[in-house]
């Protein structure tokens, strides 16, 4: 089965593109960032000390991340509970990158990501999809955009969900996450050597979809 990997920095519009491309190709769409966010929420709710290896291991066994896949938008489930909206809030965003540096967390998520993609074509977005999760993906895209565009997009997205957050706070969160994601030792955010870079600062969602659908049809 074919896999399409879409990686890139925070708030580059990866999920918008991945969702549209999956729909266009009749594949499923999986948001791997949502999985790390769900783990983070579990750790926050259960007051897990991120520096305590034993606590991390004990708690990792207690959590399961899954999805309800739907045309109208996937819903992320944490132990069967719909946490899709909750995991987008700023307290989760502030802690997700440190959580995503923990090798045991990554091992569990990567295993789950590969399971979810069994027997069906998948478009998955994240940070290490082309480099680690699906190194043999049929198509790898590395998305990037100017910081201004990225902050604007994240601010609009949060506003649509009813959260009014300052430009500066979002900017700080983006910088911090990109820094931690790019410098961690276990599967850092990076462009896979065979990934195609797209700067979407001045591209509409429709234009991005058209480019990627063309690339995908050429490869599949
Ligand atoms: O994609 P999103 O911004 O929701 O991802 C949230 C965080 O999850 C990222 O900042 C990163 O720390 C982590 N992540 C990761 N590997 C992935 C996807 C997300 O480390 N494949």
Ligand 1 pocket residue status of 134, Cβ below 6 Å? no
Q: Which atom of ligand 1 is least distant from the CA of 113? A: 21
Q: SS3 for 64?
A: coil
Taking residues 64-80, report their average pLDDT. 95
As for the ipTM of the complex, it is 0.99
Question: If you take atom 1 of ligand 1, which residue's CA is the nearest one?
Answer: 33
Q: How far does residue 26's CA lie from ligand 1's centre (Å)?
A: 24
CB 154 within 8 A of CB 170: yes
Question: If you take atom 12 of ligand 1, which residue's CA is the nearest one?
Answer: 97
Does residue 220 carry a pLDDT above 90? no
Structure tokens at 177: 């996450």
Does residue 105 carry a pLDDT above 90? yes
Q: What is the pLDDT of residues 119-150, one digit of tens each?
A: 999 999 999 999 999 999 999 999 999 999 99
Q: How far does residue 202's CA lie from ligand 1's centre (Å)?
A: 24
CB 58 within 8 A of CB 13: no
Taking residues 185-211, report their average pLDDT. 97
Q: How far apart are the first and last CA of the chain?
A: 10
Share of the chain above pLDDT 70, in %: 100
Ligand 1 pocket residue status of 178, Cβ below 6 Å? no
pTM for the predicted model, two decimal places: 0.96
Kindly indicate the confidence band of residue 104, based on its pLDDT and cuts at 50, 70 and 90.
Answer: very high
Taking residues 198-212, report their average pLDDT. 97
Question: If you take atom 21 of ligand 1, which residue's CA is the nearest one?
Answer: 126
CB 170 within 8 A of CB 90: no
Share of the chain above pLDDT 90, in %: 95
**If you search the block for the tokens 């992320």, which residue do you land on?**
76
pLDDT of residue 161: 86
Kindly indicate the confidence band of residue 110, based on its pLDDT and cuts at 50, 70 and 90.
Answer: very high
DSSP string, 205-220: HHHHHHHHHHHHHHH-
Backbone region of residue 122 per phi and psi (left: phi > 0; alpha: psi in -120 to 50; beta: other values)? beta
Q: How far does residue 127's CA lie from ligand 1's centre (Å)?
A: 6
Does residue 1 carry a pLDDT above 90? no
Question: If you take atom 7 of ligand 1, which residue's CA is the nearest one?
Answer: 33
**Taking all residues of the chain, what is their mean pLDDT, rounded to a whole number?**
96
Q: How far does residue 25's CA lie from ligand 1's centre (Å)?
A: 24
Ligand 1 pocket residue status of 177, Cβ below 6 Å? yes
Q: How far does residue 30's CA lie from ligand 1's centre (Å)?
A: 12
Q: From CA 183, how far away is CA 5, in angstroms rounded?
A: 21
């Amino acid at each position: 089965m074919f896999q399409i990997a879409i990686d890139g920095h925070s708030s580059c519009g990866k999920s918008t593109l991945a969702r549209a491309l999956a729909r266009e190709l009749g594949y499923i769409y999986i948001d791997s960032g949502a999985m790390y966010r769900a783990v983070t929420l579990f750790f926050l709710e259960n007051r897990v000390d991120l520096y305590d290896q034993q606590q991390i291991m004990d708690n990792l066994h207690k959590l399961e991340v899954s999805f309800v896949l739907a045309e109208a938008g996937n819903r992320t489930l944490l132990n069967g509970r719909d946490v899709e909206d909750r995991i987008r809030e700023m307290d989760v965003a502030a802690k997700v990158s440190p959580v995503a540096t923990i090798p045991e967390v990554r091992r569990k998520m990567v295993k789950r990501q590969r399971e979810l993609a069994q027997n069906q074509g998948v478009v998955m977005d994240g940070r290490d999809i082309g480099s680690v999760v699906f190194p043999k993906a049929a198509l790898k895209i590395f998305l990037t955009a100017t910081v201004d565009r990225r902050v604007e997009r994240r601010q609009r997205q949060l506003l649509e969900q009813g959260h009014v957050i300052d430009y500066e706070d979002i900017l700080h969160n983006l910088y911090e996450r990109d820094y931690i994601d790019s410098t961690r030792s276990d599967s850092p955010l990076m462009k896979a050597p065979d990934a195609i870079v797209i700067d979407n600062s001045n591209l509409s969602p429709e234009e991005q979809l058209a480019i990627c659908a063309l690339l995908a049809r050429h490869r599949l």
